[in-house]
Amino acid sequence: MRGRLLAVGRAVAFVALALVLCGAIFEAAGFSAPDMFASILDGAFLSDGALLHDMRWACPLFISATGVVIAFRCGYFNVGTQGQFYLGAIGGATAVALLPGLPAILVIIAALAMGMLFGALWAFWPGWLRIRSGTDEVITTLMGNFIAVLLLVWVTSGPLKDPSGSGQVTASPPVPPAFRISNDGGVSPIILGITVAVGIAAWVLVNRTAFGVLGGLAGRNPVMVTWQGARLSRLGLGAFMLSGGTAGLAGAMEVLGPDGRLVSGFSPAHGFTAVLVGLVANLSISGSVIVALFFGGLASASLYLPVIAGLPSAAIDMINAAIALFITSRAWPSRFRFRRVAR
Amino acid sequence: MAGDGAGEVAALACRDLTIRFGDVTALSGVTLSLAPGRIHAVCGQNGAGKTSFARACAGLIAPSAGAIAIAGQKLTAGNSAAARAAGVQLVHQSFALPPSFTIAEAMEFGLTGRAGAIFTRRGLRARWAGHLLALGVDAKPSARIRDLPVETQQAVEIARALAGEARVLILDEPTAVLAPGAAEALFLRLRRLRDGGVTILIILHKIREVLAVADTVTVLRGGTLVAGPEEASAVTAEGLARAIIGAGAAAPEAQEDLAALVGAAMPHGTAHRPASTAKAVMTLAGVTTRKGPDGQHLDDIDLTVGAGEILGIAGVEGNGQRPLVEAIAGLVALARGSVTLDGAAITTAPLAERRRRGLRIIPFERNTEGLSLSSPLWENFSARTLLEGSALALIDPAKLRREARAAFATWDVRFATVDHPARSLSGGNAQKVILSREVDDAARLIVLAQPTRGLDLGATAFVWHAMRQARARGLGLILISSDLDELFDISDRVIVLQGGRVAGQFAPPYDLGAVGRAMVGAHP
Amino acid sequence: MIDLIVAVLREATPMIYVAMAGVLAQRAGVWNLGLEGLMITGACAAVVLTEQTGSVALGLLGAVVASVILSALLWLVIEKLRANPIIAGLGLTGLGLGGTDLAVQAIYGSEGAVTAPAGIPTLGPGFGPFAVLDLLVVAMPVMVFALWVLLRRTRFGLRLAACGEHPFAARSVGADPARMRLIALLLGGALAGLGGAELSLGGLQIFSVGMTAGRGFMAFAAVIFGAGHPVGATFAALFFALVEYFGIKAQLVFGERAPRDFVLMLPYVATVLGVWISARLRGGVPLSSVEMRDG
């Protein structure tokens, strides 16, 4: 219990530090920091309908974050969530495009499954390169993000392009209403249900299966589990594909849900933010719930700021980045120091 | 802090030296003074504080209290540059040499002075070739540290220490990695240095070696000074042993154990079971592996371990011990040969399968191969059993915690809670956790790689006791150790590994000369 | 052919400066994933300061100062707060990307591109086809050579390598790994800032938000591909630039969209290939430090 409280305290402290740093930068840039933070608070939590907006952003963030937690706990820095998210969206849109005549429930299931599959595949190849030849997964997954962005541009201006739009439009035709799983507001029983189901499954996997314990051990000391007889390749590839799958599911859910279509360059900060959610939650599934709500609030403020307050949304990106900068710090004075047991 | 009675200033003196790391006190109130131009041995068991003492004298650790003086001048605490300027040089137990450096680079980077001075490869070689030759380092200055055999690395480490003007040379357990003959050569070199005016402080834990090389003897125990510095001529092996072990400690199982623990006299060993009638638990036939990244490999290894037998593997580190353990574990593919366990062929079986059949391993490196230091104790304990089932199997953490607690109680592990990380344990307790995990009822063959390295006498005796118990239950054990005392005391048979080959097989009573010769590849 | 060389040199030089910053950091034992953030900060500072003050020299100075300050921040977070260098580096990159966006909006009121009135002085008409090469490009080989000498032929370089490879050995000879890392990061920061300045000021004299497009990460990959060796990393960066050059050429040739997007992917694919090849050559041992793992 003390360990948990300490982790929470640490997270809060470093988030606060990040906010202070950003405040200083805002002032230096000529904005009024108090105004900025007040607007962010408004946009995130206080304005009308803010909480519903937060949920709309928090659900996909939470789903992707469970994947981040799984991968990072196993010691793999899969920072390719954005790319896997985009591939999942492509998968979902592809299913919708290929199966127009089937009953809605089948199409929805197929689309979500395709999303998971595409996302898992996009995490598979960096995982394979890492497991088989030690190729560092940070670079490969990061490059995968850039490649996925271009892939999405191509898909939405080529094969899946909306024929009724102008030549400049890079988006797919809208998903038929029957296949939508939510309206533009983004919060619906289906989405909430899927989110809860993913959360429960992820929690059980991490906390109540052998994979959870072994993955955690492997993440902290892969050499030791190898000497115990673990096949790191299986554990590792499993971790990569699970994390890609969740991001892909989130992507497909966005297309079938609030976005209603596949748009080039949508939700560009989703991946990085999902990684942050996992980190701030100290790689805990249950912690990710609350943290996802917090970052969901920031994400909805990111839309509110330029529209209502006339402030640049880059401020939110900076807050996220500053949190990332500090959040893995370990030098918080720890009164909870494990005592060396006497011989 | 005056010197001894002759009125000369002590080469190294300390008063009330205390070193604390958090809650642990490594050294407490040590006061001593060492005369110049002599070889001073500081001995004690693992954990007595010897390495901390050495590092404090070299300025690598700032003492929590007390002061050190070199040749009468007080040493700035915790400042290694000041210590080196005062002429103190430390030869570390595990060498402070970056593996990718060439010998010349390793000699160069320690020098003080113009950090920006540009050198050329050839200039560097020329500058150091003479120094290396004079010190008997027989390797090219352009050779890389990681390609050198262990004795040469140590010679380079000593050469580096002597590159500056060394007035006090401290050596931390230099004999731990050497074959018997090489230790003799080292002592010869040290005597020559002493005769040249260098004061030498050598840390040892084997009484035999202390009596062979020291002019004075000092004993540390539990962080305090219990004896010395005394003239070596006035010291007896029994007196030293008593000082090292202490009066209150439990007596070891056998007289030979005591001798082995403190390295007083070389045990000759007695076979405890007629090995020829025992059923073979493991056989290796013609086992050959390819050269690994560290240059080691196995070449046509044949060996057998019977039920109820302890097979000792002797050899200088780096002669194939690691490939042997990896081959038995199945972590490395065999180029040729076969391995059987309890009669079943396991040559192509993965490690998980071998473990299911009863293979258990106490790996070389406790902290990196045996445990995950930052993971909770119960996770470390459960790892083996969790791997026996499916990855998606549901687990009950409360039950696993209970099982861990029960096992730790049986093995007398001192721990706070099973949720504490493994790094909260002392070395001996950490090793007990590993033993509690590995030595279960289904075990058939246990490979123990350097199991008592770094453990104090009590923990070492405990491990030996556990090994004998396992042997009595009919298990086969393979013990790999660079400590011949330990091997001779406990093994029923000893095999020497040299250059990846079996260089000799020995039965008790063991002949140190023959074994030593096999270890260096000389023909008997 | 000459045109190819000139174009590739101009394309590669920003990445090479940043890669050298990466080499310095890597020798000291730090995986600097903040390179992208440093690069974009340098690019923005160079153009904005030149636009505001009219002086290219001030622009370059500003680029260096801004990147050095950010590098110092990274060092503080990694050494004093003991944060994970990979995540902290990514955070620094995010700060750089967001901060430059914010700065542009704050100063110019919109997210549009900023144009500088002047660029970095070039060689000039006397040099024929090399006329368009500017001072930073010309200085690049000298800079790489000087860095090579510093890292491989001085005691400082040996001590720095010891800090990264065997910190205990470094401490035992009196070097302070934390201080050496600071020096490496600050020096690298200056180089990365210059690399960013070369990208914007030395190119089209324009800064647009996000213009680095992953080049900082590619520079990082060049360090891995070049095995941490200054000359190796330089050649790796040249290779990536070559791929990018052919990509741009192909864009002009192909009118339609499809190959264009794939051609734009080429540098990123090349980066993945590069790190994969160097991993194979290393024998399949992952480079990742055990930071987030057992201490």
The SS3 assignment for B128 reads helix
Q: Which residues, at least 6 apart from A14, have a Cβ–Cβ distance to it below 8 Å?
A: A323, A326, A327, A329, A332
Instruction: For B330-347, write each residue's pLDDT tens digit.
Output: 999 999 999 999 989 999
- Predicted confidence (pLDDT) per residue in B379-400, tens digit: 999 999 999 888 889 999 999 9
pLDDT level of residue B7 (50, 70, 90 thresholds):
low
Q: What is the mean pLDDT of chain C?
A: 88
pLDDT value of residue B262: 78
Q: Is C168 on the interface with B (CB under 8 A)?
A: yes
With tokens 């010869």, the residue in question is B188
Note the pLDDT of residue C293. 40
CATH placement of domain B1-79+205-247: 3.40.50.300
**What tens digit of pLDDT does each residue of B98-133 get?**
988 999 898 888 777 666 778 888 888 888 888 888
> pLDDT digits over B50-104, tens only?
989 999 999 888 999 999 999 888 888 888 888 888 889 999 888 889 988 999 8
| Interface contact C98-A328, CB threshold 8 A | no
| Residue from A275, A302, A268, A304 nearest A291 by CA | A275
Query: How far is the C-alpha of A236 from the C-alpha of B58, rounded, in Å?
Result: 44
The interface predicted TM-score (ipTM) is 0.88
Q: What is the pLDDT of residues B469-505, one digit of tens each?
A: 999 999 999 999 988 889 999 999 999 999 899 999 9
Nearest CA in chain B to C165: B98
Domain A2-327 class in CATH:
mainly alpha
CA dist., res. A37 & res. B76, Å (int) = 51
Q: Which of B346, B365, B386, B429 to mutate to test binding with chain A, by most A CBs within 10 Å of its CB? A: B386
Residue C158 contacts B where some CB pair is shorter than 8 Å: yes
Q: What is the pLDDT of residue B81?
A: 82
Smallest CA–CA distance, residue C169 to chain B, in Å, is 4
Say whether C99 and A312 touch across the interface (CB within 8 A).
no
> Does residue A145 register a pLDDT over 80?
yes
Q: What pLDDT, on a 0 to 100 scale, did the predictor assign at position C287?
A: 57
Q: Nearest CA of chain B to the CA of C145: how many Å? A: 13
Reported confidence tier of residue B255, pLDDT bands at 50, 70, 90? low
User: Which conformational region is residue A249 in: left (phi greater than 0), alpha (psi within -120 to 50 degrees), or beta?
Assistant: alpha
B-chain residues near A342 (CB < 8 A): 414, 426
Give the C-alpha distances (Å, rounded to integers) separating A263 from A73, A147, A170, A289, B399. Answer: 32, 16, 6, 27, 50
**Test the C interface: residue of B75, B108, B118 with most C CBs within 10 Å:** B118
Could you tell me the residue ranges of all domains in chain A? Answer: 2-327
Q: Which residues of C touch A139 (CB under 8 A)?
A: 217, 220-221, 224, 271-272, 275
Q: Which chains touch C (3 or more CB pairs under 8 A)?
A: A, B
Tell me which residue in B81, B92, B105 faces C158 most closely, judged by beta carbons: B105
Fold (CATH) for B250-358+442-524: Rossmann fold (3.40.50)
DSSP annotation of B342: T
Please tell me the distance in Å from C131's CA to the nearest CA on chain A: 34
Give how far Cα B472 sits from Cα of B270, B308, B463, B468, C113, Å: 15, 6, 14, 6, 81
Question: What average pLDDT does the structure give for chain A?
Answer: 88
Domain range summary for chain B, segments of one domain joined by +? 1-79+205-247, 250-358+442-524, 376-438
Identity of residue B249: A
How near does any CA of chain B get to the CA of A4, in Å?
13
Residues of A in contact with C280 (CB under 8 A): 133
Contact A325 C284 (CB under 8 A): no
pLDDT in tens, B143-198: 888 888 877 888 888 888 888 778 899 999 888 878 877 888 889 889 988 998 89
Q: Which residues of C touch A222 (CB under 8 A)?
A: 293
Which residues in chain C have Cβ-Cβ distances shorter than 8 Å to A129?
272, 276, 279
Which one has a higher pLDDT value, A66 or A302? A66
Of the spans A140-144, A310-314, B224-228, which averages the highest pLDDT? A140-144
Give bridge partners of residue B421 from the DSSP assignment: B376
Best mutation target, B395, B446, B456, to test chain A (most A CBs within 10 A): B395
Taking the model in full, what pTM does it have?
0.86
Note the pLDDT tens digit of each residue in A219-261. Answer: 888 899 999 999 888 899 999 999 999 999 999 999 999 988 8
Q: Which of residues B243 and B378 earns the better pLDDT score?
A: B378
Mark yes or no for CB contact B386/A214 under 8 Å. yes
Interchain proximity A210–B392, CB inside 8 Å = yes
- In 10 A of CB B523, how many CB atoms? 6
Rg of chain B, C-alpha, whole Å: 24
> Which positions in chain B touch C153 (Cβ < 8 Å)?
118-120
The closest CB to that of A339, out of B374, B383, B424, belongs to B424
Question: Would you call C33 an interface residue with chain A, using a CB distance cutoff of 8 Å?
Answer: yes
CB distance C272–A143 less than 8 Å?
Answer: yes
**Phi/psi-derived region of residue C127, left when phi > 0, alpha when psi is between -120 and 50, beta in every other case:** alpha
pLDDT in tens, C180-198: 999 999 999 999 999 999 9
For the cut 90, the answer to whether the pLDDT of residue A59 exceeds it is yes
Surface of A (174-203) touching C: CB under 8 A: none
Which residues of chain C are under the pLDDT cut of 70? 254-258, 284-295
Q: Do C169 and B98 touch (CB under 8 A)?
A: yes
Mean pLDDT rounded to a whole number for chain B: 87
- B292: closest chain C residue by CA: C283
Chains that touch B (3 or more CB pairs under 8 A): A, C
User: Looking at the DSSP assignment, which residues form a beta bridge with residue B144?
Assistant: B102
Q: Over 80: is that where the pLDDT of A343 sits?
A: no
Which tokens go with C190? 């200056």
List, for residues B426-485, the tens digit of each pLDDT value.
Answer: 888 999 999 999 999 899 999 999 999 888 888 888 999 999 999 999 999 999 998 888
Say yes or no for a CB contact (<8 Å) between A211 and B392: yes
